[in-house]
Amino acid sequence: MPEFSCPPGLVCRPTFWNIPEWLQIAVYLAGFIAIIVMFYGFWLRFQQLRKGKGKFDWRPLGPRLKMWLTMGVATKKVSLENQPAGSMHVGIMWGMILLFIGTALATIDWDITRPLIDPNQWRLLQGGFYFLYKIILDLFGLAALVGLIIAFVIRYGVKPERLDGRSGKRFFREDLWIIGSMAFIVLTGFIIEILRLAAQPTETAQLGERVMYCTTCSVIAWPVSRLFASLDLGLLELLHRSIWVFHAAVAVVFVGSVSFTKMSHFAISSVNTFFKKREPAGAIAKIQDIENQESFGISKLEEFTWKQLLDFDACTRCGRCQDACPAALTGKALSPKNIIVKMFELSHAKTPGAIHGEIIDAQELWDCTTCMGCVNACPVSIDQLGTIIDLRRYLTLSEGAPQPPSNKTMDSMERQGNPYGLPKQDRHKWMQGLDVPFADADTEYDVLFWVGCAGAYDIRAQKISKAFVKIMQMAGLKFAVMQEERCNCESARRLGNEYLYQMATTENVETMKQYKFKRIVTTCPHCFNTIKNEYPQFDGKFEVIHHTQLIAELIDNGKIKPSKSLQQTITYHDSCYLGRYNNIFEPQRTVLKSISGVNLVEMTRSRSTGLCCGGGGGRMWLEENTGTRINNKRVEDVIAVNAQTVASACPFCMTMLDDGAKALSVDEKIARKDIAELVAEAL
Ligand code: SF4
Ligand code: SF4
């Protein structure tokens, strides 16, 4: 038995009971070496990041720290979403953290305060603090163990598609080591405690005597230890010491392995949340000085920024992005998780291979609808979409190989100023008989109505433009349309054609600056996003609102009253470019609820987890031949809630929902209406 005593009247903690001093020294030495190995691994990773392009930017420190505290430390997204995996992570993470703190306190107590302060006077782990320490450690140890069991069941029993389905079994052994070693450490920790308690008479655990243990404070281990109390003391000591050796050995190897395995995520993923993109979520990075660039986008490892390399290292392979991805959900080649995982492997390969064609197939990139479901779902702030766009840029601009038929569409955008390939002079035909003025440089307007190519050329979307014009006229707004309006080419940008986008944007910004208006309003979320978030990159700073926001305002201030009863059950389909891109979820719902007779029902996938219609990122202009069509899947969501009408707020969504309804033969049963059309009907 160890020879030490506690201050009179206090209970305090025995450390290294039954462990000879030479073994204690050996474990400390091994632990020290393991910590050095762990830091060496992190240093190697830091060296890797330094090869990336761009400079580190810590600013603004306050918001970054806030992001880090909520996402990186409190792990808000991991904990609250995606159950039971979220609870599993909470159990393991906080269990292991508390056990680590407990071990550190024990070390301080035994190796630092004990030699310095007379243990008869004071011990760190004594009395009430010690009681609390024991109770907390036992409970959090149990939480960690339960979490690890759940992790094991999910990973090796349930085997959800998001974990191994696409990336194969190549992380099987690494994950097994992580879960298995942690479970072994926690379990043997409990067994050691149980054997020690079984060897210790319970009557020594009384406050007020000079006792060494608080047996009953070990709320989990103590009751179990009673089962072994009758065993021979020598056997208990032998078992205890033997298991302790294995426990310590695995713990030491585990610490040394941390920075070389996915366990490094506790540090790297946390740091990644601190460096989360600060620019608006919906803004794609501009290629600076595009005229003088020799190559575009990314085709080699050395072309990634340090933040992208950090993203790859930060990925925990949880697969939440894959579960949120409409392409992956409908059986396409793309999995955002796979893209990031493959880039992680590339960044650590001894001889990095070619990205395009060898590691990533072009189809994976073209499958992306740029819906931002992956970015929104990622608990560690990885920008999968930014990487996909960079890879697309190389294909489109450097290789000159955009996916057909988007090359024809982009040609039309450039020549005719619209993606439909229709004559320039037909752009304003939809306005005939509507009394819509063209903007005049000497007049100031309440709003400049940016119609967009769909609103101007697409016969279905023209009805939305007309309904919205009716609303603005009834509200008495002074508005105008810009005669020089041309396609803003945002889908070309997302298809990788930054060159065309920059040309169109420069032209549009110059034209818009000629006119006087308080705000720009548009019925197209894609136009809205690019004018709001991307035009500032080209010195075009305008106040932009979406037409549903303006309608909500007009209803709120009493300018219009949608008082005719529609008597319909309506569900609202969130546009990705309004919702996830710009966090605009409520005005559309407020407007619908304000219409008399509307029963608004929500689809299971709505707001930030709403399913894409399949038309973003230039996918409107591409074929969709693999797997289920995304728009059909979305219409299935509409059918599931028995809605009579699906309301949308985007002309692309309208086209996709229309096509989906026809494909699923619910064309007659489920109406597709823009919110402006519903409001105009109710006026
Ligand atoms: S942006 Fe959408 S479609 Fe593209 S990878 Fe992410 S989730 Fe998938
Ligand atoms: S990118 Fe993010 S969401 Fe996707 S697997 Fe990695 S950590 Fe999970």
Query: How many Cα atoms sit within 13 Å of 479 on the Cβ side?
Result: 25
The full DSSP string for 386-397 is HHHHHHHHIIII
What's the gap in Å between 299 CA and the centre of ligand 1? 20
Question: Ligand 2 mean position to 316 CA, how many Å?
Answer: 6
Dihedral pair phi/psi, residue 348, rounded to 5°: -115, 10
The answer to whether domain 290-398 and domain 556-682 are alike in fold is no
Ligand 2 centre from 323 Cα, in Å? 10
What Cα–Cα distance (Å) separates residue 287 from each residue in 29, 37, 293, 294, 383? 52, 40, 9, 12, 17
CA distances from 628 to 266, 437, 474, 576, 611 (A): 37, 44, 43, 20, 14
> Minimum-distance ligand to the CA of 340?
2
Rg of the chain (C-alpha set): 31
Q: Which ligand is nearest to the CA of 262?
A: 2
The bound ligand whose nearest atom lies closest to the alpha carbon of 372 is: 1
Atom of ligand 2 nearest to the CA of 319: 5
- Sequence-ordered list of residues with C-beta below 8 angstroms from that of 485, at least 6 positions apart, any chain: 427, 450, 451, 456, 508, 511
SS (H, E, C) 426-473: HCCHHHCCCCCCECCCCCEEEEEEECHHHHHHCHHHHHHHHHHHHHHH
The domain limits of the chain are 21-45+81-272, 290-398, 409-551, 556-682
Alpha helices in 573-674 (DSSP H): 579-582, 586-594, 630-640, 651-663
Q: How far apart are the first and last CA of the chain?
A: 88
Look at residue 335 and give its three-state secondary structure.
coil
For ligand 2, whether the C-beta of 378 sits within 6 Å is yes
Strands 544-546 and 516-522 come out as parallel
Which candidate, 363, 362, 359, places its Cα nearest to that of 340? Answer: 359
Nearest Cα residue to atom 8 of ligand 1: 325
Q: What is the DSSP letter of 314?
A: H
Residue type, 244: W
One-letter amino acid identity for 36? I
The one-letter amino acid code at 27 reads V
Q: Is 316 in the pocket of ligand 2 (CB under 6 A)?
A: yes
Which ligand approaches the C-alpha of residue 609 most closely? Answer: 1
Task: Give the whole-angstrom CA distance, residue 91 versus residue 98.
Answer: 10
Atom of ligand 1 nearest to the CA of 339: 5
For residue 127, the tally of other CB atoms under 10 A from its CB is 17
From 385, 494, 495, the mutation candidate for ligand 1 (largest count of ligand atoms within 8 A of CB) is 385
Report whether residue 318 contacts ligand 2, using a CB cutoff of 6 Å: yes
Q: Using an 8 Å Cβ cutoff, are 589 and 572 in contact?
A: yes
The protein residue whose alpha carbon is closest to atom 6 in ligand 1 is 374
- Per-residue tokens: 400: 């000159």
Q: Three-class SS of residue 315? A: coil
Spatial contact of 480 and 441, defined as CB atoms under 8 Å apart: no
Residue type, 597: G
Peptide bond into 405 cis (omega under 30): yes
Residue 379 in tokens? 């608990």
Encoded tokens for 629: 């069509």
pLDDT for 209: 43
Residue whose CA is closest, atom 4 of ligand 1? Answer: 368
Residue type, 364: E
Q: CATH topology for 409-551? A: Rossmann fold (3.40.50)
Q: Does the predicted TM-score (pTM) go above 0.85?
A: yes
Distance CA 361, CA 546 (A): 36
How many angstroms does the Cα of residue 373 sit away from the middle of ligand 1?
A: 6
Distance 640 CA to ligand 1 centre (A): 24
- The strands making up 671-674's β-sheet, listed across from edge to edge, are 598-601, 568-572, 645-648, 671-674
pLDDT means per 10 residues, the chain with 683 residues, are: 50 77 95 98 96 92 95 89 90 96 91 80 76 91 97 92 75 92 97 90 47 72 92 95 97 97 96 95 95 93 97 96 97 96 94 92 97 97 98 95 89 96 97 96 97 98 98 98 97 97 98 98 98 98 98 97 95 98 98 96 97 96 94 98 98 98 97 98 96
401 CB neighbour count, 10 Å cutoff: 14
Give the orientation angle of helix 586-594 with respect to helix 675-682, to 10 degrees: 20
Place of tokens 């450390």: 15
For the chain, give percent helix, strand, coil, nearest 5: 60, 5, 35
CA of 78 to the centre of ligand 2 (A): 11
CA of 88 to the centre of ligand 2 (A): 17
The answer to whether the bond into 84 is cis (omega within 30° of 0) is yes
Tokens 């967009």 sit on residue: 452
The predicted pLDDT at position 510 comes to 97
Query: 230 — alpha (psi -120 to 50), left (phi > 0) or beta?
Result: alpha
Per-residue pLDDT, 208 = 43
Query: Which DSSP category does 356 fall into?
Result: B
Give the distance from CA 39 to its chain's centroid. 28
Does residue 386's CB lie within 6 angstroms of at least one atom of ligand 2?
no
Locate the ligand 1 atom nearest the alpha carbon of residue 325 and give its number: 7
382 in contact with ligand 2, CB cutoff 6 A = yes
- 3-class DSSP state for residue 600? strand
One-letter amino acid of 262? K
Q: How far apart are CA 471 and CA 467, in angstroms?
A: 6
Contact 449, 472 (CB under 8 A): yes
Ligand 2: nearest atom to the Cα of 341:
6
- Amino acid in the structure at residue 332: K
Q: Quick one: how far is CA 179 from the chain centroid?
A: 23
Of all atoms in ligand 2, which is nearest to the CA of residue 311? 1
Cα 299 to averaged position of ligand 2 atoms, centre (Å)? 22
Q: In Å, what is the CA distance from 257 to each residue of 249, 254, 291?
A: 12, 5, 47
| 556-682 classified as CATH 3.30.470 | no
Q: In this structure, which ligand is nearest to the CA of 382?
A: 2
Fold classification of 290-398 is Fumarate Reductase Iron-sulfur Protein; Chain B, domain 2 (1.10.1060)
Q: Choose which residue among 166, 334, 341, 369 to substitute to test ligand 1 binding: the one with the highest number of ligand atoms within 8 A of its C-beta.
A: 369
The ligand with the least distance to the CA atom of 312 is: 2
Cα gap 306→267, rounded to integer Å: 16
C-alpha to C-alpha distances, 165 to 337, 365, 477, nearest whole angstrom: 11, 19, 54
Closest ligand to C-alpha of residue 163 is: 2
Closest listed residue to residue 381, CA positions, set 491, 273, 522, 279 = 273
Residue 673 gets which letter from DSSP? E
Residue 103, classified by CB atoms within 10 Å of its CB into exposed (0-12), middle (13-18) or buried (19+), is middle
For 624, residues 6+ apart whose C-beta sits below 8 A from its C-beta are 614, 630
Output the pLDDT for position 83. 87
Rounded-to-integer distance, Cα 204 and Cα 653, Å: 73
For residue 612, the ligand 1 atom closest to its alpha carbon is 2
Separation of CA 506 and ligand 1 centre (Å): 28
Atom of ligand 1 nearest to the CA of 373: 7
Q: What residue's CA is closest to ligand 2, atom 8? A: 318
> Residues lining ligand 1, judged by CB closer than 6 Å?
324-327, 334, 336, 368-374, 384-385, 388
How far away, in angstroms, is 280 Cα from ligand 2 center?
20
Residues 6 or more apart in contact with residue 258 via CB below 8 angstroms: 38, 41, 264, 266
CA 148–ligand 2 middle distance (angstroms): 20
Dist. CA 16–CA 19, nearest whole Å: 5
CA of 380 relative to ligand 2 center, distance in Å = 7
Q: For residue 392, which ligand has an atom nearest its CA?
A: 1
Determine the pLDDT at residue 168. 61
Please report the pLDDT score of residue 132 as a whole number. 85
Distances (CA, A) of 562 to 597, 680, 681: 10, 8, 8
Residue 92 CA to ligand 1 center (angstroms) comes to: 29
- Measured in Å, residue 322 CA sits from the centre of ligand 1 at 8
Pick from 332, 365, 370 the residue to mutate for probing ligand 1's pocket: most ligand atoms within 8 Å of its CB: 370
Ligand 2 center–CA 603 separation, angstroms: 25
pLDDT of residue 10: 54
Total Cβ atoms within 10 A of residue 516: 13
Q: Helix or strand or coil: residue 19?
A: coil
Tokens of 7: 């201050």
Q: Is the CB of 214 under 6 A from ligand 2?
A: no
Q: Sort 635 into a burial class: Cβ within 10 Å, 0-12 / 13-18 / 19+.
A: buried
Q: 221 with 190: CB under 8 angstroms?
A: yes
